[in-house]
Structure formats: C-alpha cells, structure tokens
C-alpha cells in the first residue's frame, strides 16, 4: 500500500520493550504517529527517547512488541527487506553523522546515488536545491570537518531530505547549539513539515521547541509513556514528573 | 577444595567462552562477507580506493622490511655457514626463508600494523559517531560498503606486497653477500636459482593472501563492535593490531605444516 492510499497512522507502536544488560529502557511503549503531523517525544536524559526513535526505522530491534510502518510490521524484516521502508524515512542524527571522507555535496548526494539515481546533472540540481533550502548554498565543496555544529546539522538535514522522504526522524536536533541556532533549526524543521508535508518525529528535551513544533506530544519517563496527546494538554497534566519537568524548564529559562 | 575447583573452572570457562564467542562472531562476519561477494554487490570504486590505500600505501614499508630482513638474515647465515665452508648456501637459505616464512609473515605484520589499525579506527569512529547507523538508515549495508571493498582490496594487494618483500629481501641478500662478503655473483645466483622453486614462491603468496584475509576480518570486526566513544576506538585499534599479529603468527605454523607436504621445497645439495 502506498503512502497516499493508507489511511492509518504512519507509525503504530505497540507494547514496545527494550533493555540493555538487563536494564529496562523501554517498558511497553504504545502510541501512533499520525500521517503529516509532528509528534514530539519529550523527556529527560536517559528516558529512552533516542532508543525509541531508533526502533522506528529498524535501526534497533525490540525485545517485545511491534513497530508498524505504513501498516507493515517491520520487526521480522531482514536488513535488505527494510531498505525500501528506510528510504521513505529520513533521519537527522544527534551529531549529524556526516561521512567525514566525503564533501558536503557528496554527503547530500549519497542517498540519491545509493537509491540508484545515475543522472549526475539531476543529482547536482537536487543537491543545490536542498542546500539552498537549509541555507548552505555554495558550501558543497567543504569537508564536514571544517563545519560548525549548526552547519553540520543543516547539511545532515539536507542529506536526510534529499531523497524526498515521506517521514523525518529528528534526534535532538537542537542539542549542543546556541539559542539562535536552535531557533533556526527549529524553524527549519517546521518549514520542512509545511513545505514538504512530512510526517515528523522529533526527540527533544526542549519545551520551547516542543511548543513550536508539536501536533502531538509523547512524554517518556524511565521508558514509560506518561503522556500522549496534544501539546496544550501537557501543561494541564497531573503527573508529578511532568510538572517537575515543566517547572525545571521554566526555571532554566529565567 | 570444592569451592577452589569451582573458582578454577569459572576462571578457565570465562576466557574460553569469550574466545569461542569472539571466533563465532568473526566466522559469522566471514560468512556474511562471502554471501555479499556471491551476490555480486561489489562497489568497484571503493575497492580501487582501498587498493590504493592498502596496496600502494604499504609499498615502502613492506619493501624496507623485506630488504633489511633479507640483508640481516643473509649476514647471520653467511657468518655461520662460512665457518663450515658453506658460504654459497647463504642464497638458497635466505631465499627459502624469505619465500616461505619471513616474506609473508613480516609483510603481513607490517600491513596489520599499518592498515589493520587504520581500518579498526576508521570503522570504529564511524560506529561511535552514528555514521554506520546513518548508512543503515539510508538502506546501505555497512558490510557491503565498508567491509567487502577492504576484503577484495587486501586479497589483491597482499600477494603483490609479499612478492615485493621476497624480491627485495633476496636482492638485499645478494647485494650484501656478493659485494661485502665476496661470494662470486654467478655462484650465488646459480645456487639460489637451483634451490628456489615455484612451490616456495607459491607458499609465500598463499600465506600472504590468507594473512590478508585474517587482518581485514579481525580489524573490520573490531571496528564494527566499537563502543564507548574515543576510548573504545583506541581499544579497538589496539586489539585489531594485537589480534591480527597473533593470528598471523599462530596460523603461520599450521599453514607451514599444511603447505610443506603439498608444496615441498627443492632438496638442497651443495
């Protein structure tokens, strides 16, 4: 079933469990990611946010539970069978994960070439197009090693959207950036969603980014879902952990 | 007594289990590489780049190692043989030692130190900086992209490097024996050619290729299992070189025992 034909959620996560060295990291996480909307996964450090994100495209396999992408359970798929699904899902990794041995242009062109595109003129055009979209036009000959943290994130974002994915996963997109760069990246994510009509999942612990981006919020604590619903509802939650998180963030901003 | 036996059993069982697990992981990597090779998903551009890095990049170090090993071995052999009036045996002894043992082993140790470390560090860094996850997220198999090109490149490069180590070892040996010790060149060369055969050279090339396979599998495996950031990368690099070197030295004995009956050396008669 193609993206447009499927009326259900883009991702359906059911009773997901994961543990490392006997230490539980995800404890029966269940939620849906609606198509074309932005879901923000919120929580403190060590809550299991990034681990949960890596289950969505099969980078990690759960101990129990299921991950459905477009209605297809991906748990039992081989790496090879996951390829077409993964190519629908762009990922912005926490530190960019750019390939150090390739230039900016080669990094952005990488997913296009790997998907079998042999039209070099078309690839060049697309690389320029997405680099312009992230405000890095003309930087294609630079090596990742000479880029600032913010530029690396933007190149990584350009690489992730180059293959025109139906969905984007963002792992801590504003971590380690100054407030101005954080705001730029957050705005860029919002623009991507609006212009490209992407389904987005954003992992963050910044409430400001969450309020700007979220159509739906999932609050994780110790691998458990404490809240799943609209962003506005989070402030009305009675959960002590959520209230502490919100008040700590407010203190951090004052 | 019972407690002590239990403690001893546990202290032996742990490392043995660890070794078996490790060998199982490397064997699994080998099977996956073979499966990838058979499916012909080969990235020739990356293979070429790795041949340049491994083959061309290792030329100088392997040539210097081969030349000086051949020269010093010739000097020691000549000192002893000349006491027995067998100075002319220096050439054949050096050539057989270089072809069958020193050439492949020392070239492999040099490649393990140079390229094994580099492979483990590069792949390990990619692992801890999520570049390998990024490959997988884009539907690219890290095995096809990172390991298979290195395997093919080392299988092409090692026989050439071993051949060079042997050649330069023999040339350096001749230079020293003829120019410094005064053994007639014609006599030296006649003896050398009479006692060095194709089986000797073939043994060296087979061993070198096998050692190359060990280096690439061990080093790539260490890179792929790297964790814990920069410390982990350092640990993976050290392990790649140490494990590769040990594997070369240990397997050399078994290869010698296996290959000598299959590819026997020419009988010496002076």
Residues A45-101 have pLDDT tens digits of 888 889 999 999 999 999 999 999 988 899 888 888 999 999 999 999 988 899 998
| pLDDT score of B243 | 95
pTM, rounded to two decimals:
0.86
C-beta neighbour count of A122 within 10 angstroms: 11
Tokens found for residue B54:
């491994």
In angstroms, the separation between the Cα of residue A164 and the nearest Cα of chain B is 12
Fill in the DSSP letter of residue A59: S
In angstroms, the separation between the Cα of residue B63 and the nearest Cα of chain A is 28
Residues A122-147 have pLDDT tens digits of 999 999 998 988 888 888 899 999 99
Q: How far apart are the first and last CA of chain B?
A: 62
Out of A93, A98, A99, whose CB is closest to B133? A93
Tokens found for residue B95:
């050539």
Give me the total of CB pairs closer than 8 Å, taking one residue from chain A and one from chain B.
Answer: 46
| A93 contacts chain B (CB < 8 A) | yes
Report CB contact under 8 Å: A86, B137. Answer: yes
Q: Mutation test of the interface with chain A: which of B125, B130, B141, choosing the one with the most A Cβ atoms within 10 A?
A: B130
Is ipTM beyond 0.90? no
Provide, for chain A, the percentages of residues in helix, strand and coil under a 3-state DSSP scheme, each rounded to the nearest 5.
40, 25, 35
Q: Which of B217, B236, B232, B238 is closest to B26 using CA atoms?
A: B217
The nearest alpha carbon in chain A to B137 belongs to: A86
Chain B residues whose beta carbon lies within 8 Å of the beta carbon of residue A176: none
Residues A16-55 have pLDDT tens digits of 999 988 899 999 899 999 998 899 998 888 888 899 999 9
* Cα-to-chain-centroid distance, residue B15: 25
Q: Which of B264, B156, B266 is closest to B208 using CA atoms?
A: B156
Query: Rounded to whole angstroms, how far apart are CA atoms B4 and A38?
Result: 61
- Cα–Cα distances in Å, from B48 out to A192, B38, B221? 38, 19, 21
pLDDT band at A180 (very low <50, low <70, confident <90, very high): confident
Report CB contact under 8 Å: A114, B130. Answer: no
Out of B125, B130, B139, whose CB is closest to A86? B139
Listed by number, the residues of chain B in 87-106 with a beta carbon closer than 8 Å to a beta carbon of chain A are: none
**Sequential pLDDT tens for chain B (270 residues):** 677 888 878 788 888 898 899 999 999 999 999 998 888 778 899 999 999 998 888 899 999 999 999 999 999 999 988 888 887 788 889 999 999 999 999 999 999 999 999 999 999 999 999 999 999 999 999 999 999 999 999 999 999 999 999 999 999 999 999 998 888 888 888 888 888 889 999 999 999 999 999 999 999 999 999 988 889 999 999 999 999 999 999 999 999 999 999 888 766 555
| A62 contacts chain B (CB < 8 A) | no
| B141 contacts chain A (CB < 8 A) | yes
Report CB contact under 8 Å: A114, B140. Answer: yes
* Cα-to-chain-centroid distance, residue B112: 6
Q: Say if residues A109 and B149 touch (Cβ distance below 8 Å).
A: no
Query: Rounded to whole angstroms, how far apart are CA atoms A195 and A57?
Result: 23
Listed by number, the residues of chain B in 108-127 with a beta carbon closer than 8 Å to a beta carbon of chain A are: 125-126
Chain B residues whose beta carbon lies within 8 Å of the beta carbon of residue A163: 138
């Amino acid at each position: 079933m193609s993206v447009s034909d499927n009326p259900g959620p883009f991702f359906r996560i059911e009773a997901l469990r994961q543990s490392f060295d006997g230490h539980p990291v995800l404890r029966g996480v269940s939620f849906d990611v609606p198509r074309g909307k932005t879901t923000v996964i919120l929580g403190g450090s060590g809550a299991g946010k990034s681990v949960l994100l890596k289950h969505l495209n099969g980078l990690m396999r759960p101990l129990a539970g299921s991950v459905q992408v477009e209605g297809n359970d991906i748990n039992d798929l081989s790496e090879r069978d996951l390829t077409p699904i993964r190519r629908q899902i762009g990922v912005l990794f926490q530190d960019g994960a750019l390939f150090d041995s390739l230039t900016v242009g080669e990094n952005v062109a990488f997913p296009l070439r790997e998907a079998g595109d042999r039209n070099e003129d078309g690839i060049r055009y697309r690389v320029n197009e997405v680099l312009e979209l992230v405000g890095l036009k003309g930087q294609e000959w630079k090596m990742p090693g000479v880029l600032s943290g913010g530029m690396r994130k933007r190149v990584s974002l350009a690489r992730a959207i180059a293959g025109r994915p139906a969905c984007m996963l963002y792992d801590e997109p504003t971590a380690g950036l100054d407030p101005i760069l954080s705001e730029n990246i957050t705005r860029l994510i919002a623009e991507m969603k609006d212009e490209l009509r992407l389904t987005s999942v954003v992992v963050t612990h910044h409430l400001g980014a969450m309020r700007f981006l979220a159509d739906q919020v999932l609050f994780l604590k110790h691998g458990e879902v404490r809240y799943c619903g609209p962003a506005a509802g989070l402030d009305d939650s009675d959960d002590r952990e959520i209230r502490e998180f919100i008040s700590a963030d407010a203190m951090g901003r004052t | 007594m019972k407690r002590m036996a239990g403690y001893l059993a546990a202290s032996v069982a742990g490392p043995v289990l660890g070794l078996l697990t490790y060998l199982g992981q490397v064997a699994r990597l080998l099977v996956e590489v073979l499966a990838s090779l058979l499916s012909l998903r080969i990235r020739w551009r990356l293979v070429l780049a790795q041949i340049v890095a491994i083959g061309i990049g290792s030329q100088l170090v392997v040539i210097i190692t081969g030349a000086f090993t051949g020269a010093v071995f010739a000097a020691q052999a000549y000192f002893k043989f000349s006491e027995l009036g067998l100075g002319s045996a220096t050439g054949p002894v050096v050539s057989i030692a270089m072809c069958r043992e020193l050439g492949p082993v020392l070239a492999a140790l040099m490649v393990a130190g140079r390229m094994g470390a580099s492979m483990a560090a590069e792949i390990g860094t990619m692992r801890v900086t999520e570049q390998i996850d990024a490959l997988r997220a884009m539907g690219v198999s890290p095995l096809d992209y990172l390991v298979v090109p290195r395997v093919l490149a080392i299988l092409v490069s090692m026989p050439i490097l071993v051949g060079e180590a042997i050649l330069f070892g023999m040339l350096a040996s001749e230079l020293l024996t003829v120019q410094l010790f005064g053994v007639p060149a014609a006599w030296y060369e006649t003896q050398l050619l009479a006692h060095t055969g194709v089986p000797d050279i073939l043994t060296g090339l087979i061993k070198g290729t096998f050692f190359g396979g060990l280096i690439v599998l061990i080093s790539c495996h260490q890179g792929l299992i790297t964790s814990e950031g920069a410390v982990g990368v350092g640990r993976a690099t050290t392990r790649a070189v140490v494990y590769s070197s040990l594997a070369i030295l240990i397997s050399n004995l078994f290869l010698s025992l296996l290959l000598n009956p299959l590819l026997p050396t020419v009988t010496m008669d002076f």
